[in-house]
Structure formats: structure tokens, C-alpha cells
């Protein structure tokens, strides 16, 4: 699972955007395999922001690369869902992580949306 977030570039598809962000922030190449959720940011406890936006959550599979930090990340790691480090609630909430884990475990779950 990736908790990255980004604005898409012009003429970039959602799957291209998430795959590009994963590589930029982690050094890992990934392939988006499922749109798990499309949430209205203001309805999910992210706190105030200047812009109204939606958050798209994709399940992705690692296809290559090597873990590394970037100008946006100090380090790259994998964590037991029960022992996550402190989260940036502006990006993802514990409830969203729980839902994405459910999607990872059961790929047949329907895409969630507001």
C-alpha cells in the first residue's frame, strides 16, 4: 500500500499518476491493479484545506526498483498494519488504511466512493 498523494499532471491518467508518485517517493516501480476507493476529502477527517479534492486509493503491485528516500521522503519501509508509525492525517487516516487492507486481502470488494 502506498500512502502517497499528488496532483496529476496534465494528460496523465490516474493510474499513471499513482505509479509515477510511488517511484518518485520510494524508488519502487509499481503497477496499479485496482481502484479501491474514491473519497471526497472533506468527508473523511483530513482537516481543512484551501482546495476541494477527491482522494483516489489504488491497490498496486511492486514490479521492480530499489527502496530509497527522496526529497519528499526520509526513508522507505513496510510496516505491520497494527504498528504503523504516526500518520499524516492530511494524506490518509487510520480508517482508510484499514479499508485498503481489507481491499488487499479481498480483491473482490467493490470500489468504495462517496
- Predicted confidence at residue 13, as pLDDT, reads 94
- β-strands 28-40, 54-65: how paired? antiparallel
The CATH code of the domain at 14-113 is: 3.90.79.10
Helix (H, G, I), strand (E, B) or coil at 19: helix
pLDDT digits (tens, 9 = 90+) for 52-110: 889 999 999 999 999 998 888 888 989 898 898 888 888 888 899 999 999 999 999 99
pTM of the model: 0.85
Closest to 18 in 3D by CA, of 35, 1, 33, 32: 32
pLDDT digits (tens, 9 = 90+) for 29-51: 999 999 999 999 999 988 888 88
Amino acid at each position: 500500500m502506498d500512502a502517497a498523494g499528488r496532483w496529476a499532471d496534465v494528460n496523465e491518467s490516474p493510474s499513471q499518476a499513482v505509479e509515477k508518485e510511488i517511484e518518485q517517493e520510494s524508488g519502487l516501480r509499481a503497477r496499479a491493479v485496482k481502484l479501491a476507493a474514491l473519497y471526497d476529502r472533506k468527508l473523511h477527517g483530513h482537516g481543512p484545506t484551501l482546495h476541494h479534492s477527491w482522494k483516489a486509493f489504488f491497490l498496486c503491485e511492486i514490479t521492480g526498483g530499489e527502496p530509497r528516500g527522496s526529497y519528499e521522503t526520509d526513508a522507505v519501509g513496510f510496516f505491520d498494519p497494527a504498528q504503523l508509525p504516526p500518520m499524516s492525517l492530511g494524506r490518509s487516516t487510520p480508517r482508510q488504511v484499514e479499508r485498503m487492507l481489507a481491499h488487499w486481502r479481498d480483491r473482490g470488494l467493490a470500489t468504495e466512493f462517496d
